[in-house]
Every structure is written in structure tokens, then in C-alpha cells.
């Protein structure tokens, strides 16, 4: 009697400290920051569920206690959601190995691995189908989602042969051997996870993948250049949120907003205020008369006072932008205060509780 294949499982590596996103991550993990109106991980979980994944394991560390109250047990996506704590930093590979006990023991099972800070619209179901297709009678050991970029000099490159087999992992170079780069979504054969060393920090990019290629394992690339963005910086977070609201970034988590903005039902927006350009205004936020919010994220309980202008920025929870103030391309931490008429310039970060102007 033929045994039914094990359900497809997934691991989301969500243990980073989010230092590139400070001050937004001073009080919460980056993976729960709002993108397009929902916590970022909801985009990833919804995409996994849509591709047929039935069990998702979150590998957590920083503020680990905050995940389950937000995401629950996975039932609203029709999946099972488990949580495994990483007590000391273990790197990407170490984090994957650390959750092995929460996965099915079937050695031939497929396990999708997602980096917890990448928003992607790529064909995950297609990658799973490609992973399940043998090459010359051999089962694929690992599949990597690859994207082609216009200029690969800032990235490590992943060259492949005509059959899609990964040939090497090449460090950053002024003369890249290919425009293909690692996009942060992998599919592991379950047995491969057990070969990752335990109890120490391991990088899949620098140690696991090159080691598998050197040992003759079948590592393939799945090239798909659909929407893809690393949301690891405040500006990238804003851009990703705008893309979700405007429908540029297709996601099963939320629909695009037909009027170009997503405003929580209990937010207060004055009729004379403007909220547009893919902006998100979260619960309890207040936008006063004459204020303009363009292409920005206004988080829970924040206040944009009368005649203020906020463009391309993140305004953290309970922060306040004073009357006729100007905030452009900036990041305001929790409870930050920008005084009346003050200006915050491109790239500035106002710390938690800091007063400016």
C-alpha cells in the first residue's frame, strides 16, 4: 500500500532583533510591524496557506511572547501554527535546525523556509511543484527562489546551469558572474535539515548551501522575478506598505484599497484632511483638519495635528506630529513628539519618546 505523502510544512525564521528598523523595533519584533494594514507575518502565512502548506513553525527569539497573541494558532488561515523559541542567536541555519523537533519526521517531506523580512509575490506553488520534479531520477535536496536584478554588485550571486542546478555561491563583486541573487525562500527535503549542526550559529547562505553543493547534493534554483522586497529598513517598510495598499504587491492577506489608502474603522480622519498615496492609518490614530498624509504609515494612536504634512514616513504608536510640522522620509519612534512648525528631514530617525522642535 502506497503511503500518502507528508503534508507540506514551513518554517518562518523570525528571530532577528531588527536593528536596521530602529526605533520601530525598540518595543516589538520587526515581523509584527504593520505593512499594508496587517502585521507583516500575516502576508507570509497567508501566502503559505494559499500554496497548500498545512503546518507553519515560527522560529522566534526577540520579544517571542508577542507573536502568539497576534497570530494565534493559525486557524483563521486554515493551517496549524507552532512556535519554537531560539534562546541564543543561532543564525539562519541554526534557527532552522532548532525547530526540527516540531516538524514531521518523514525524511522526504518538503519544508518551505522563509526569511521573516521578505515580501514576495513569487509563485510558491510553482516552486513546490518544481521541487517535487526529479532531475535524472534524483530527488531535489534543496530549492532556492532566485530573482534577477538589474545590478547585482551589491549582492552575492547564485549561478545555475541550463538545468537549473546551482553551481556556486559567489560573494559580492564589481563584476558579478550572474544577475541571479538569493531571494530568501527555500524548500528543504526534510532529511537535509537534520544534517545542519546543532548547538551553534550556522548560516545557510555561507555554510549550509555551499557545503551541500560541494558535497554533490542536488540544489536547484527556481527563478521567478515577480514582486520581491526586503522590508528590513524603515524606508523599505513604507515602500512595501504603499505597494500593498496600491495593489503593486499582490498578497492574499489583504486586498488593495480602491481609494488609495487604508484607514482603520476607529481612526479619526477629519473631512478636511488628505490621506492618499497608499497610506495606512491604524487603529485609534487621529488626522486633524488640513493635515496631509501621503504614502506613509501612521501607527496605532498616533496624532497628525492640523495642517501638518507627512510624506513617505513612518509615525510610530502614540507619536505626535504638531501643527503645521513637516515630516518627509523620516521615522518616528513610539511616543515621539514633533513640535508645532518643526521639520524632520529625509532619513532622520526620532527615537522613542524623543521631542523635536
Beta-bridged to residue 279, according to DSSP, are 261
Q: What is the 3-state secondary structure (H, E, C) of the chain?
A: CCCCCCCCEEEEEECCCCHHHCCCCCCCCHHHCEECCEEHHHHHHHHHHHCCCCEEEEEECCCHHHHHHHHCCCHHHCCEEEEEECCCCCHHHHHHHHCHHHCCCCCCCEEEEEECCEEECCCHHHHHHHHCCCECCECCCEEEEEEECCCCCCCCECCECCCCEECCCECCCCCCCCCEEEEEEEEEEHHHHCCCCCCCCCCHHHHHHHHHHHCCCCEEEEECCCCEEECCCHHHHHHHHHHHHHCCCCCCCCCCCCCCEEECCCCEECCCCEEECCEEECCCCEECCCCEEECCEECCCCEECCCCEEECCEECCCCEECCCCEEECCEECCCCEECCCCEECCCCEECCCCEEC
CA dist 336 and 114 (Å) reads 33
What residues contact residue 154 under an 8 Å CB cut-off, 6+ apart?
A: 172
**Grid cell in block for residue 26:** 525598540
Once rounded to an integer, what is the mean pLDDT over residues 223-248?
94
What pLDDT sits at residue 6? 59
List the domain boundaries for the chain. Answer: 9-230, 257-356
CA dist 230 and 115 (Å) reads 9
CB atoms < 10 A from the CB of 191, how many? 14
CATH fold for the domain made of 9-230: Spore Coat Polysaccharide Biosynthesis Protein SpsA; Chain A (3.90.550)
Q: Peptide bond before 344: cis, by omega within 30 degrees of 0? A: no
Residue that has been written with the C-alpha cell 538589474 in this structure: 150
pLDDT above 90 covers a percentage of the chain that reads 87
pTM of this structure: 0.93
pLDDT of residue 74 exceeding 60, the answer is yes
For the chain, what's the residue count? Answer: 357
CA dist 318 and 77 (Å) reads 30
Once rounded to an integer, what is the mean pLDDT over residues 92-97?
94
Residue 165 C-alpha from the chain's centroid? 26
pLDDT above 70 covers a percentage of the chain that reads 98
Domain over 257-356 is classified CATH 2.160.10.10: yes
pLDDT of residue 214 exceeding 50, the answer is yes
Once rounded to an integer, what is the mean pLDDT over residues 296-307?
98
Q: Which pairing describes strands 326-328 and 343-344: parallel, antiparallel, or unpaired?
A: parallel
What residues contact residue 108 under an 8 Å CB cut-off, 6+ apart?
A: 5, 6, 139, 189, 190, 191
**What band does 225 get if pLDDT is binned at 50, 70 and 90?**
confident
pLDDT of residue 4 exceeding 50, the answer is no
pLDDT of residue 3 exceeding 50, the answer is no
Asked if 36 contacts 44 with a C-beta cutoff of 8 angstroms, the reply is no
What pLDDT sits at residue 2? 37
CB atoms < 10 A from the CB of 285, how many? 27
Once rounded to an integer, what is the mean pLDDT over residues 140-150?
94
Once rounded to an integer, what is the mean pLDDT over residues 320-335?
98
What pLDDT sits at residue 330? 98
CA-based torsion, 282, 285, 288, 294: positive or negative: negative
Once rounded to an integer, what is the mean pLDDT over residues 259-263?
94
Q: What is the 3-state secondary structure (H, E, C) of 178-239?
A: CCEEEEEEEEEEHHHHCCCCCCCCCCHHHHHHHHHHHCCCCEEEEECCCCEEECCCHHHHHH
Amino acid at each position: 500500500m502506497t503511503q500518502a505523502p507528508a503534508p507540506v510544512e514551513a518554517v518562518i525564521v523570525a528571530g532577528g532583533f531588527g536593528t536596521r528598523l530602529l526605533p520601530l523595533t525598540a518595543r516589538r519584533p520587526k515581523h509584527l510591524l504593520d505593512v499594508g494594514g496587517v502585521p507583516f507575518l500575516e502576508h507570509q502565512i497567508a501566502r503559505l496557506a494559499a500554496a497548500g502548506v498545512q503546518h507553519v513553525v515560527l522560529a522566534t527569539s526577540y520579544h517571542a511572547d508577542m507573536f502568539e497573541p497576534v497570530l494565534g494558532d493559525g486557524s483563521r488561515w486554515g493551517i496549524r501554527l507552532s512556535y519554537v523559541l531560539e534562546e541564543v542567536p543561532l543564525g539562519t541555519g541554526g534557527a532552522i535546525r532548532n525547530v526540527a523537533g516540531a516538524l514531521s519526521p518523514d525524511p522526504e517531506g518538503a519544508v518551505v523556509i522563509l526569511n521573516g523580512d521578505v515580501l514576495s509575490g513569487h509563485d510558491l506553488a510553482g516552486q513546490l511543484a518544481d521541487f517535487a520534479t526529479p532531475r535524472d531520477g534524483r530527488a531535489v535536496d534543496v530549492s532556492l527562489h532566485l530573482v534577477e536584478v538589474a545590478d547585482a554588485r551589491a549582492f552575492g550571486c547564485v549561478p545555475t546551469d541550463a538545468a537549473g542546478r546551482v553551481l556556486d555561491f559567489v560573494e559580492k563583486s564589481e563584476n558579478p558572474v550572474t544577475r541571479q541573487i538569493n531571494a530568501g525562500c527555500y524548500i528543504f527535503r526534510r532529511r537535509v535539515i537534520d544534517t545542519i549542526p546543532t548547538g551553534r550559529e550556522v548560516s545557510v547562505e555561507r555554510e549550509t548551501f555551499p557545503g551541500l553543493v560541494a558535497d554533490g547534493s542536488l540544489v536547484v534554483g527556481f527563478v521567478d522575478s515577480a514582486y520581491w522586497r526586503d522590508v528590513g529598513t524603515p524606508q523599505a517598510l513604507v515602500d512595501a506598505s504603499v505597494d500593498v495598499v496600491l495593489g503593486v504587491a499582490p498578497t492574499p492577506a489583504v486586498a488593495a484599497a480602491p481609494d488609495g489608502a487604508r484607514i482603520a474603522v476607529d481612526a479619526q480622519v477629519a473631512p478636511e484632511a488628505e490621506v492618499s498615496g497608499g497610506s495606512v492609518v491604524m487603529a485609534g490614530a487621529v488626522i486633524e483638519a488640513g493635515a496631509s498624509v501621503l504614502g506613509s504609515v501612521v501607527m496605532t494612536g498616533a496624532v497628525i495635528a492640523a495642517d501638518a504634512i507627512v510624506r513617505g514616513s513612518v509615525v510610530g504608536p502614540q507619536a505626535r506630529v504638531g501643527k503645521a510640522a513637516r515630516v518627509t522620509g523620516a521615522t518616528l519612534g513610539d511616543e515621539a513628539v514633533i513640535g508645532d512648525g518643526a521639520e524632520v528631514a529625509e532619513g532622520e530617525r526620532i527615537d522613542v519618546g524623543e521631542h523635536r522642535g
